[in-house]
Amino acid sequence: MAARVPVQVSPPEVAASVRALTRRFGDRTVLDDLDLEIARGEFVALLGRSGSGKSTLLRALAGLDDEVEGGLAVGESVAVAFQEPRLVPWKRVRANVALGLARGDARARAEAALAEVGLTERADAWPLTLSGGEAQRASLARALVREPGLLLLDEPFSALDALTRITMHRLVLELWSAHRPAVLLVTHDVDEALLLADRVLVLDEGRIAHETAISLPRPRHRDHPDLVSLRTTLLAALGVSPEGTA
């Protein structure tokens, strides 16, 4: 078994710092000597082919993987929202959001977080009765109520319909501007990355193979000429030729 990674608290200017991170499953090396730094308050999107190791990297940052090798330094507070909302089915929505908060004002904080994601009316609902979008918003509220320094999102919108996804993009931007956590958003959707992120990374062969900073102000329009050319570049980095060409 690999040596456990010492998780140090990172210096104040970075939210997370990864040095020479390696993860093997048997003889397959999924993350290979990977370096990554995320600044405080920075919104980073991570693209990559299916199976390229995006979730593996995110789980390592979340402290869910005890068998990674290399250096990993994340700030004191990390929160995660997964692709499936993973709400605890036997706790009402409010209790889900308040789970793990120190007693005292837990209820009030949970309600404030639910109000922020527009779920006040559903606070007393059972998770299994929520729609997909509602469940994902509850999951976001549960992550944000902890005021994380680093918010990890693993394809949180990929199961939602296109309209709900647009609403969720707005919501995430609003929440991000209000609380300013650093965000690492794993996604398959190049447009989602372009519309939301300060920096877009492409993971390939176990490393960050491509990196683009986007300085356009938000809200962005997907037809902006800068984004159009970036899209072509990113798709090429992902090994996909843009539509219309063969």
Partner 1 sequence: MSVLELETEVRAGARPGPRPQSRRLPGRSWHRWISPLVLVVAWQIASATGLLPTRLLAAPSTIAATALDLVRDGTLPTAIAVSLQRVLAGFAAGAVAGVGTALVAGLSRAGENAVDPIMQMLRALPFFGLIPLFILWFGIGETPKVLLVALAVSFPLYLNTFAGIRGVDGKLAEVARTLKLGRAQLVRHIVLPGALPQTLVGLRQSLGVAWLALIVAEQINADAGLGYMINDAREFLRTDVIVVGLLVYSALGLLTDALVRLLERRALTWRREFLSR
On whether the CB atoms of residues 134 and 166 are closer than 8 A, the answer is no
From the list Mg ion, partner 1, ligand ATP, none, pick the one residue 30 interacts with, judged by a Cβ distance below 5 to 8 Å according to partner type: ligand ATP
For residue 57, what are its two tokens? 């990297």
User: H-type helices in 62-214, by residue range?
Assistant: 93-98, 106-116, 132-144, 162-179, 190-196
β pairing state of 7-8 and 69-74: parallel
Counting residues that bind partner 1 (by CB under 8 A) gives: 24
From the list partner 1, Mg ion, ligand ATP, none, pick the one residue 126 interacts with, judged by a Cβ distance below 5 to 8 Å according to partner type: partner 1
**Closer to ligand ATP at the Cβ: 98 or 238?**
238
From the list Mg ion, ligand ATP, partner 1, none, pick the one residue 56 interacts with, judged by a Cβ distance below 5 to 8 Å according to partner type: ligand ATP
For residue 211, what are its two tokens? 């990196």
State the minimum distance, in angstroms, from the CB of residue 51 to Mg ion: 8
Binding piece for partner 1, criterion CB under 8 A, among 48-56, 123-131, 198-206, 207-215: 123-131
- Report the site for ligand ATP in 113-132 (rule: CB under 6 A): none
Question: Quick one: which of 94, 137, 142, 165 contacts partner 1 (CB under 8 A)?
Answer: 142
Question: What phi and psi, each to the nearest 5 degrees, are found at residue 171?
Answer: -60, -45
DSSP 159: T
Give every CB contact of residue 89 below 8 A, 6+ residues apart in sequence.
126, 127, 128
- Name the helix (H) or strand (E) containing 54: helix 54-61
d(CA 191, CA 223) in angstroms, rounded, equals 10
From the list Mg ion, partner 1, ligand ATP, none, pick the one residue 70 interacts with, judged by a Cβ distance below 5 to 8 Å according to partner type: none
163 binds partner 1 per the rule CB under 8 A: no
Question: Quick one: which of 10, 52, 55, 96 contacts Mg ion (CB under 5 A)?
Answer: 55
What is the three-state SS of 198-220? CEEEEEECCEEEEEEECCCCCCC
For residue 232, what are its two tokens? 């072509």
d(CA 64, CA 5) in angstroms, rounded, equals 12
From the list Mg ion, partner 1, ligand ATP, none, pick the one residue 128 interacts with, judged by a Cβ distance below 5 to 8 Å according to partner type: partner 1
For residue 43, what are its two tokens? 């919104």
Binding piece for Mg ion, criterion CB under 5 A, among 25-33, 34-42, 52-60, 198-206: 52-60
**Closer to partner 1 at the Cβ: 86 or 218?**
86
- Report the site for ligand ATP in 40-99 (rule: CB under 6 A): 48, 50-56
Residue ranges in contact with partner 1 by CB under 8 A: 62-64, 78-80, 82, 84, 86, 88-92, 99-100, 126-129, 131-132, 142, 146
Residue ranges in contact with ligand ATP by CB under 6 A: 25, 30, 48, 50-56
